[in-house]
Amino acid sequence: MNDEEFDGRLRDVDKHLRFKFLKFKCKFMFKILLNELNALNSELQKELRNIKQQIENIDDSEIKTYIQQQIQNIDDNLVLKQDKNIVALEKKFLKKESYYFKLPFGVMGIHNDPSINDNIDKSKDYEFKKYGFTANIRVYSVPNYIIYPNNIFDSDEDDYQLIFFDFRGKLIIEINFPFQVKVDSIFFRQNSRMSKKFNARKVLQFINGTKNVETKELEINDENNKPRHLYEIKTSGKYIDRFSMLIIPDNEEDQLSLSNFDMLLETETPPLSIVRNPNHKKK
């Protein structure tokens, strides 16, 4: 064997020894990491047992159930789950979220015939139903031609085809909800045909069952009487199942109009037909 061959064999032996050393080192490091992981797992299990013992004394059953679910989720999936997307998805389903939606009457056309009831005081109730929601519009001064109170819910953003509901005298808008909701905001646009002001007092009532939980009165003044103005009325955000808005004109002969009537509503348990997080257009 010459010197060149000897050097080649020596390099092969050196590579083999290095490989065996690295393999041994990897096994050794892996064993250390595994021991540390097992130790961490044991510590976490101890903490979980301590938390489980502590929550047994919690009185609020809803909070206790929620914490127990969180602990069970950690306990069942400890160390085993590596997919962060799955973990994030589970947290999303365990977390209560609010859903925001609007009234479903904005897409009605003139062909959505209401149920009409005549009252003793010669007023008429125009009732519209959609997705379990009921809108009842009481018109006190009824003309001798067909009217479309549902135009209150339509948008008049198109300057070439304005859509609104004209009326004289008192008007009541009542909304019944199929489940309890929180009202974040109320929107409506008002106008007057014969005056530069919408001279009318507005009384908004928020009702839950038989209890009136909030009342807002918008008196006749420059701020509340602007024509062609889209108003946004904020509320205290209490749960309700019925809403009523009474409009009392200063002069019953004034021809007033309403459009763009809508609400931004909130619930924690929405039906499938509710659209999440709508954006209400403001001008």
Buried b / exposed e over 152-175, threshold 16 CB at 10 Å, is bbbbbeeeeeebbbebbbbbbbbb
Boundary (domain end) residue, out of 67, 94, 121: 94
146 and 88, same domain (yes or no): no
pLDDT reported for residue 140: 92
Whole-number CA gyration radius for the chain: 34
Q: Spell out the SS3 assignment of 124-185.
A: EEEEEEECCEEEEEEECCCCCCCCCHHHHHCCCCCCCCCCCEEECCCEEEEEEEEEEEEEEE
Q: What value does the mean pLDDT take over residues 198-219?
A: 90
Q: Is residue 283 in a domain?
A: no
Q: Is residue 70 in a domain?
A: yes
pLDDT reported for residue 72: 63
Reading the block at residue 277, the tokens are: 């997080």
CATH number for the domain spanning 130: value is 2.60.120.260
* pLDDT digits 0-9 by tens, 6-23: 445 545 545 454 555 555
Q: How many domains does the chain have?
A: 2
- Counting residues of the chain whose pLDDT is more than 90, the rounded percentage is 17
Q: Is residue 273 in a domain?
A: no
The residue assigned the tokens 């509710």 is 274
pLDDT reported for residue 82: 43
77 and 125, same domain (yes or no): no
135 and 49, same domain (yes or no): no
Reading the block at residue 136, the tokens are: 């009842």
Please state the pTM of the whole predicted model.
0.59
* pLDDT digits 0-9 by tens, 142-195: 888 888 888 888 875 555 456 788 888 899 999 999 888 999 889 898 887 776
Q: Is residue 60 in a domain?
A: yes
Boundary (domain end) residue, out of 94, 122, 156: 94
56 and 105, same domain (yes or no): no
Query: In this structure, what DSSP letter does residue 95 have?
Result: S
Residue 204 predicted with pLDDT over 80: yes
C-alpha distances (whole Å) from 122 to each of 104, 169, 183, 246, 283 are 29, 12, 32, 17, 37
Q: Which is more confident, 62 or 25?
A: 62
C-alpha distances (whole Å) from 72 to each of 46, 53, 65, 77, 278 are 14, 13, 10, 8, 35
pLDDT reported for residue 25: 54
pLDDT reported for residue 73: 62
Residue 280 predicted with pLDDT over 80: no
Domain range for 57 is 3-94
165 and 212, same domain (yes or no): yes
